[in-house]
Amino acid sequence: MPNNFPEPIENAIKEISKLPGIGKKSALRIVYFLLKEGSSAVESLEGALSTLKNNIEMCSKCRGYKEKTEECPVCSNPKRDKSILCVVESTQDMHLIDSSSGFRGNYFVLHGLISPVRGATPESLKIDDLKRRIEEDGIGEIIIATPYTAEGEATASYIISMIEGGSVKISRIGMGIPIGSELSYVDSETLSRALALRREIK
Ligand SMILES: [Zn+2]
């Protein structure tokens, strides 16, 4: 790729290629698309991004994302079983489980997994908030739905050691989730079965 772009183009490529799944080539394609489409395309993208920044916040209970002026659609839904909490790595996994498994409890999003290599610790992930949530909301059962990778297992072990000894039932999704796999690669039927056939740890 030539390295003689005008600086604004260079900067836009640099910023866009920071996005997940977008390399330099795709970033360049996006920049050229925006330049070709003109100001209306750039303005609508700007508008969407600034609304995202200004109007969305993290829900203090499930740690999923919600509109600032609205109640969290998950936590405020009276049809959900408030006594069961499913612990997931990401908001994507939360949506995946919710849309494909028929699970209708509540959630706690970790926003990452414990990983000494990447510097993600229980403190940086604020995993202790989970303990507070359990106490405050009188949670009776925790389903740990972190992936079956080294980091997912380390995180599950930490959570188990953090809450065992109390009266909370702890289970781990199992059956059919391949070792080393991310939940997003698992089909919805398998995921549904994995939740239904969760094994109790304590
Ligand atoms: Zn919520």
Judge whether 69 lies within some domain. Answer: no
Within a domain: 135: yes
Residue 15 belongs to some domain of the structure: no
For ligand 1, the distance from its centroid to the CA atom of residue 93, given in whole angstroms, is 14
Alpha carbons 89 and 110: distance in angstroms, whole number: 5
- Where in the sequence is the domain holding 153, given as residue range(s)? 77-200
Q: Residue 109 C-alpha to ligand 1 middle, in angstroms? A: 9
Determine the distance separating the centroid of ligand 1 and the alpha carbon of 54, expressed in angstroms: 18
Q: Is residue 11 part of a domain?
A: no
Residue 23 located in a structural domain: no
pLDDT of residue 190: 74
Ligand 1 mean position to 75 CA, how many Å?
Answer: 4
CATH of the domain at 184: 3.40.1360.10
Q: 65: CA distance to ligand 1 center in Å? A: 7
- pLDDT tens digit string along 111-138? 999 998 989 999 999 999 999 999 999 8
- Tens of pLDDT, residue by residue over 17-36, are 999 999 999 999 999 999 99
Q: How far is the CA of 59 from the centre of ligand 1 (A)?
A: 5
Confidence band for 202, pLDDT divided at 50, 70 and 90: low
Residue 56 in any domain: the answer is no
Q: How many CB atoms are closer than 10 A to CB 72? A: 20
Helical (H) or strand (E) element with 7: helix 7-16
Dump the DSSP string for 153-173. Answer: HHHHHHHHHHHTTSS-EEEE-
Residue 41 inside a domain? The answer is no
The average pLDDT across 151-174 equals 88
Max distance between CA atoms of the chain, in angstroms, equals 64
> How high is the pLDDT of residue 176?
58
For residue 50, being part of any structural domain is answered with no
Q: 156 pLDDT exceeds 80?
A: yes
Number of domains composing the chain: 1
Average pLDDT, the chain: 88
